[in-house]
């Protein structure tokens, strides 16, 4: 493969640190790094210096937190998209955004290839590759893990040491991925699903048993399905999520432990910390219960399942995902209001919801009289609703069939 200039999605972790000298050794090409600031916080410190010491000619570090929250997290939240009942798609929806800017940098720099550090066993390789192909199919996509001779983490470490490459500071035995929406942990002790996660896994969330003995109340204001205020104060989306992360984490909320089905056919166990996201999903659902009619709510649940699969599978830029987002936007026109929640020792509990578009009418719900509802109407409705079953019962009786 002839490559003169490659743009590498650079996280500063072991794989991408090793990838820089590996490209120079094997392709003799110029390596430009790109890092998306999605809320990794301290993980971004020193990246520029480290990338250049490893051999990169330059590095782009772009703050994409606002775009990530508004254009990727909020559309997923509006859908209530959850993969296999638990996973809030924190890594899945970040990859297409990173791919978007990898392509932008590659085009600006005149690069003929882009690269990422995803392994050949995971889902991220699919998400990166498919997203990159969707945005610029003329760019070569290189995944070193799929072609280099390094077979393990130990091999990668030895390769770096032999070339004097500075290794990233170890954050424990787990493979992690962090952004403003979540922090994932995989590998090491977590690979045995029969075992409870060790106490040293959690980095953001206070274990529920150590959380405060007094609950915290949060009030989230939504406008057309998007959260816009926290505790009565309208605020920037990024600042709001950061504050909600802090509050929920302190009260033990947002720990997700699951075995999931990877797209590549492997079952994988992971522990995810998603404090603010857990609260926002709960609040959003509560408001939809109040403002969406039965048919829309039930249909939306099935569409959300499909949306989650598309995100998980790396098909963010597909026509179906875009069409579903348009559908969800339409459903959110009346999802405006305020939801109050109680956070207590790992639990997120409803504490009231209001909306100017509420479909809940006390007169309908109570047993008293209401001008639009007459109890006598119920008999005719029940007769028609049950008519197919009555006809079936009559047919079986005439035919002498047993019940």
Is 73 domain-assigned? no
Q: Are 44 and 51 a contacting pair, CB within 8 Å?
A: no
Q: What is the span of the domain harbouring residue 260?
A: 176-292+335-354
What average pLDDT does this structure show over 15-25? 94
Cα-based torsion angle of the residue sequence 308, 247, 124, 69 in order, rounded to the nearest 10 degrees: 70
| 11, 114: one domain | yes
Is 241 domain-assigned? yes
| 148, 264: one domain | no
pLDDT at 370 over 90: no
- Of the ranges 155-164, 298-307, 364-373, which one carries the lowest mean pLDDT score? 364-373
What pLDDT score does 175 carry? 87
| 48, 134: one domain | yes
Is 136 domain-assigned? yes
Question: Which residues are within 8 A (CB) of 395 and not within 5 positions of it... i.e. 6 or more apart?
Answer: none
| 273, 256: one domain | yes
Is 15 tagged catalytic? yes
User: What percentage of the chain carries pLDDT values higher than 90?
Assistant: 83
What average pLDDT does this structure show over 55-69? 98
Which of 170, 187, 208 marks a domain boundary? 170
Distance CA 327, CA 340 (A): 27
Query: Which of the pair, 371 or 182, is modelled with greater confidence?
Result: 182
CATH number at residue 281: 3.90.1260.10
Counted domains in the chain: 2
Q: Are 3 and 107 a contacting pair, CB within 8 Å?
A: no
Is 189 tagged catalytic? no
| 40, 186: one domain | no
pLDDT at 364 over 70: no
Catalytic residue of the set 51, 94, 124, 268 = 124
Catalytic residue of the set 17, 51, 92, 95 = 95
| 166, 202: one domain | no
Question: Which residues are within 8 A (CB) of 78 and not within 5 positions of it... i.e. 6 or more apart?
Answer: 225, 226, 284, 325, 328, 329, 331, 332, 335
Closest of 301, 341, 13 to residue 171, by C-alpha? 13
| 158, 180: one domain | no
| 153, 243: one domain | no
What pLDDT score does 170 carry? 62
Distance CA 35, CA 313 (A): 22
| 197, 278: one domain | yes
Distance CA 339, CA 355 (A): 9
Which of 311, 326, 354 marks a domain boundary? 354
What average pLDDT does this structure show over 106-126? 95
| 236, 265: one domain | yes
Q: Categorize the per-residue pLDDT at 375 as very low, low, confident or very high, splitting at 50, 70 and 90.
A: confident
Segment 229-279, tens digit of pLDDT: 999 999 999 999 999 999 999 999 999 999 999 999 999 999 999 999 999
Catalytic residue of the set 175, 184, 268, 355 = 175
| 201, 110: one domain | no
What pLDDT score does 369 carry? 59
- Residue 31, H or E segment: strand 30-37
Catalytic residue of the set 15, 177, 184, 269 = 15
| 13, 114: one domain | yes
Is 378 domain-assigned? no
Is 377 tagged catalytic? no
pLDDT at 171 over 70: no
Which of 170, 199, 222 marks a domain boundary? 170
Query: Which of the pair, 349 or 395, is modelled with greater confidence?
Result: 349
Q: Categorize the per-residue pLDDT at 186 as very low, low, confident or very high, splitting at 50, 70 and 90.
A: very high
User: What percentage of the chain carries pLDDT values higher than 70?
Assistant: 96
DSSP string, 261-304: E-TTS-EEEEEEE-HHHHHHHHHHHHHHHHHS-HHHHHHHHHHH
Is 60 domain-assigned? yes
- Of the ranges 128-137, 161-170, 205-214, 336-345, which one carries the lowest mean pLDDT score? 161-170
Is 297 domain-assigned? no
Structure pTM? 0.93
Is 374 tagged catalytic? no
Is 399 domain-assigned? no
What pLDDT score does 381 carry? 92
- Of the ranges 110-114, 312-316, 384-388, which one carries the lowest mean pLDDT score? 384-388
What pLDDT score does 389 carry? 93
Is 159 domain-assigned? yes
What pLDDT score does 291 carry? 98
What pLDDT score does 25 carry? 93
CATH number at residue 143: 3.40.50.620
pLDDT at 73 over 90: yes
What pLDDT score does 367 carry? 59
């Amino acid at each position: 493969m002839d490559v003169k200039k490659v743009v590498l999605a650079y996280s500063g972790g072991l794989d991408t640190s090793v990838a820089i000298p590996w490209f120079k050794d094997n392709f003799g090409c110029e390596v430009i790094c790109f890092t998306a600031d999605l809320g990794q916080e301290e993980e971004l410190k020193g990246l520029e210096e480290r990338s250049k010491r490893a051999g990169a000619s330059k590095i782009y570090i772009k703050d994409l937190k606002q775009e990530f929250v508004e254009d990727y997290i909020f559309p997923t939240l509006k859908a209530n998209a959850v993969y296999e009942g638990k996973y809030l798609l924190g890594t899945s929806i970040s990859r297409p955004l990173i791919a978007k800017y990898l392509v932008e940098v590659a085009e600006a720099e005149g690069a003929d290839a882009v690269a990422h550090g995803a392994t050949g066993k995971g889902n991220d390789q699919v998400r990166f590759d498919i997203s990159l192909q969707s945005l610029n199919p003329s760019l070569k996509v290189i995944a070193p893990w799929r072609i280099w001779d390094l077979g393990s983490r130990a091999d990668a470490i030895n390769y770096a040491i032999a070339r004097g490459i500075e290794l990233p500071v170890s954050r424990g035995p787990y493979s992690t991925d962090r952004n403003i929406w979540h922090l994932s942990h995989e590998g090491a002790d977590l690979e045995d699903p029969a075992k409870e996660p060790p106490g040293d896994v959690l980095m953001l969330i206070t274990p529920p048993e150590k959380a405060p003995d007094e609950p915290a109340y949060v009030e989230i204001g939504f406008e057309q399905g998007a959260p816009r205020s926290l505790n009565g104060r309208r605020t920037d989306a990024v600042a709001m999520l950061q504050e909600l992360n802090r509050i929920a984490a302190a009260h033990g909320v947002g720990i997700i432990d699951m075995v999931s089905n990877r797209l590549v056919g492997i079952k994988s166990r992971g522990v995810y910390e998603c404090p603010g996201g857990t609260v926002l999903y709960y609040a959003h659902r509560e408001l939809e219960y109040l403002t969406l009619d039965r048919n829309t709510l039930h249909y939306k649940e099935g569409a959300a399942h499909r949306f989650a699969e598309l995100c998980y599978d790396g098909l963010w830029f597909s026509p179906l995902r875009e069409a579903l987002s348009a559908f969800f936007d339409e459903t959110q026109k009346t999802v405006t209001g305020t939801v109050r929640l109680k956070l207590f020792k790992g639990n997120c509990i409803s504490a009231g919801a209001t909306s100017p578009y509420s479909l809940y009418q006390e007169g309908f719900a109570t047993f008293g009289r209401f001008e639009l509802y007459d109890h006598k109407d119920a008999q005719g409705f029940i007769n028609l609703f049950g008519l197919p079953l009555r006809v079936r019962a009559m047919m079986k009786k005439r035919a002498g069939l047993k019940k």
